[in-house]
Structure 1
Amino acid sequence: MRSGFMRGSLRDDRPVRAFVGIPLPDDLSDRLEEVAAGLRFGRAIPAENMHVTLAFLDEQPEEVLADLHEELAGLHLRAPEIAIEGLDLFGGDKPRLLFAAVMPNEALAELHKKVRQAARAAGIALSHERFRPHVTLRRFQRLGFGERDALERFLTLSGAFHAPAFRPVIFEMVQSHLSHEGATYETLASYPLGQ
């Protein structure tokens, strides 16, 4: 993991797909991976990729990410409490992902707001979706025959999952490398949070 983002550190001149997020402790991501393994369909998110997204940056030139790094490095914020309270779905009648819900709180909302302000200051246009802090566990294309019922049964059995709260010591800027097997992540820079 790198603490400082360096200009010219990326491999080529192509735009970089990236996000800013909070990593999870290994024990929590391992537990979430085990719970999500109760479903046999959809694309599972490996434990090492689980995080709470603060801002999805889409594809950006390296120079823009370097500017964002400078903005983020100047932030001095207290660590939010991250508490998982239940599993749910995004997508309504056509579920597109299973997630673990993160309890909203003032410090988390402030961190999200400051990261978005930093992104805008670096010239990044972000989507205007409402912030629903979560950890993605599985992604779905289309549910096959019987899978909707299996998903409902799974939520009945495991939907009340919760985990003790933790306070992260860092948040990160992460590059996402896409492939047919799914995404792999590379930390570009990390930023300390006050306790």
Structure 2
Amino acid sequence: MRTFVGVPLDDAAIEALLPVQEALRQGRLVDEENLHMTLTFLDDQPGAVLEELDTALGEIRVPDWEMEFTGVEVKGGRRPALVWADVAKVEPLRQLHDKVRGAARLAGIDLPRERFRPHVTLARFPRSRPVDMGRLTAFLGAWAEFRAGPFAVDRFCLCGSTLTPDGPVYDVLADYPL
């Protein structure tokens, strides 16, 4: 099963992001029920590994914290791939990220080394569709300094991801309180 560990957004955080998505008006917008912050993408994992991971994730303890959005960026260089809202990297979030990756390794999941850049993906740009770079540049000029929050974070989740022609569908497999 294709999986990831993420932080769900509360209603107030989602409401803060909806005007940003509305202003973008291009790309494939992430459905509001799918907005989240990924801690670690796990790719396809067998059920036995996910059971072991579930146990390890249930033992993680970090303080709850408040999430803040600190800007909007485009990832992908000359050929944009994503638009996201940056999330402030506070100490409890860094601890949670490190502990989740440690739990995944203990469960036998081989994770690539990567720099943690906390964010919420707002839109994806499929390679098959052109991007209006003028409109995207204007959007970034208006929204790059976007700030919102704080929003309460008191849990994280193990999620399944099913790819469909209309985009991924996420299902919460397990919920973990902080």
TM bin (shorter chain):
over 0.9
Question: Residue 69 of structure 2: which of 84, 94, 98 is its match?
Answer: 84
Tell me, what secondary structure is at the counterpart of 2:108?
coil
Q: Could you list the per-position Cα deviations for residues 141-171 of structure 1 after superposition, in whole angstroms to 9, with x for gaps in the alignment? A: 24626x1111010011122211111231110
Aligned position for 2:166 = 181
Normalising by structure 1, report the TM-score.
Answer: 0.86
Give 1:126 deviation, angstroms: 1.2
1:97 and 2:97 are equivalent in the alignment: no
Q: Which residue of 2 aligns with 1:68?
A: 53
Q: Tell me how large the CA RMSD over aligned residues is.
A: 1.3
Cα deviation for residue 80 of structure 1 reads 3.3
Q: Which residue of 2 aligns with 1:6?
A: none
Identity of aligned residues (%): 44
Q: Is the 8 A contact 1:33 1:45 kept in 2?
A: no
Distance (whole Å) between structure 2 residues aligned to residue 89 and residue 79 of structure 1: 28
1:144 paired residue among 113, 130, 134:
130
1:12 corresponds to which residue?
none
Task: Indicate conservation of the 8 Å contact 2:4/2:38, yes or no.
Answer: yes
The TM-score normalised by the length of structure 2 is 0.94
- Equivalent residue for 2:139, pick from 145, 150, 154: 154
SS in 2 for 1:171: strand
Count residues in correspondence.
Answer: 177
Runs of 4+ in 1 over 3 A off after TM superposition: none
AA matched with 1:72: L
Aligned mate of 1:39, from 16, 24, 45: 24
